[in-house]
């Protein structure tokens, strides 16, 4: 994904937030789970050099851990079918070494980071997903 502020396109932040949420919806369809979902909308955060990105963190929980692991498998197989390039598929850097899939969209405008967290004491198993956009410049006169 493009991180270079000099090449960042000018975009309306609300438009980028809407696109990130739409990508999140397509990821949720691939997961194909009947599950509870955390409620959070896309947010704007700074990149370096006066440019911004939209990111949408969310999670699904409720189904047995086995079903969530199978949903990770669907991501692993279906993302490439839909033009995404998997750039990481393995344990994350946490102490728990949770399974993680990171993929970039074919056009380089979006990235998805999905992690499976098994049941921890009283916390249910869950899939944690973050979709983020490439960096963009706000429209002239706009503040993000």
SS3 63: coil
Percent of the chain scoring above 70 in pLDDT: 91
pLDDT (0 to 100) of residue 118: 84
What are the residues whose beta carbons fall under 8 Å from the beta carbon of 21, sequence distance 6 or more? 41, 42, 56
**What does the block give as tokens for 85?**
């390039």
83: phi > 0 → left, psi -120 to 50 → alpha, else beta; which? left
Residues 73 and 68: their CA atoms lie apart, in Å, by 9
Report the percent of the chain where pLDDT is more than 90.
66
Residue 54 near residue 133 (C-beta atoms within 8 A): yes
pLDDT of residue 116: 95
What string of DSSP letters covers 89-107?
EEE-SSTT--EEEEEE-TT
Average pLDDT value for residue range 100-106: 97
Evaluate whether 2 touches 137 at the Cβ level (below 8 Å). no
38-52, 60-74, 129-143, range with the lowest pLDDT:
129-143
5-136 placed in CATH 3.30.43 = no
What residues are paired with 127 via a beta bridge?
A: 60, 116
pLDDT of residue 59: 94
Q: What are the residue ranges spanned by the domains of the chain? A: 5-136
125, two tokens: 């198993």
Token digits of residue 68: 């969530």
Residues sharing a CB contact under 8 Å with residue 57, sequence separation 6 or more, in sequence order: 40, 128, 129, 130
In whole numbers, what is the pLDDT of the chain averaged over residues? 89
Q: Which pLDDT score, from 0 to 100, does residue 49 have?
A: 85
Average pLDDT on 94-101 reads 92
Q: What is the dihedral of CA 35, 63, 27, 104, to 10 degrees?
A: 150
């Amino acid at each position: 994904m493009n991180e270079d502020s000099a090449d960042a396109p000018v975009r309306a932040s609300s438009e980028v937030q809407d696109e990130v949420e739409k990508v999140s919806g397509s990821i949720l369809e691939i997961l194909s789970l009947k599950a509870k979902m955390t409620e959070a909308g896309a947010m704007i955060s700074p990149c370096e050099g006066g440019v911004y990105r939209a990111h949408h963190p969310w999670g699904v929980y409720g189904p047995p851990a086995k079903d969530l692991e199978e949903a990770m498998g669907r991501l692993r197989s279906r993302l490439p079918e839909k033009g995404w390039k998997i750039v990481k598929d393995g344990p994350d850097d946490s102490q728990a070494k949770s399974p993680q899939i990171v993929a970039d969209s074919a056009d380089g405008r979006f990235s998805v980071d999905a992690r499976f967290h098994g049941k921890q004491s009283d916390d249910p198993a869950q899939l944690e997903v973050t979709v983020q956009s490439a960096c963009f410049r706000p429209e002239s006169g706009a503040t993000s």
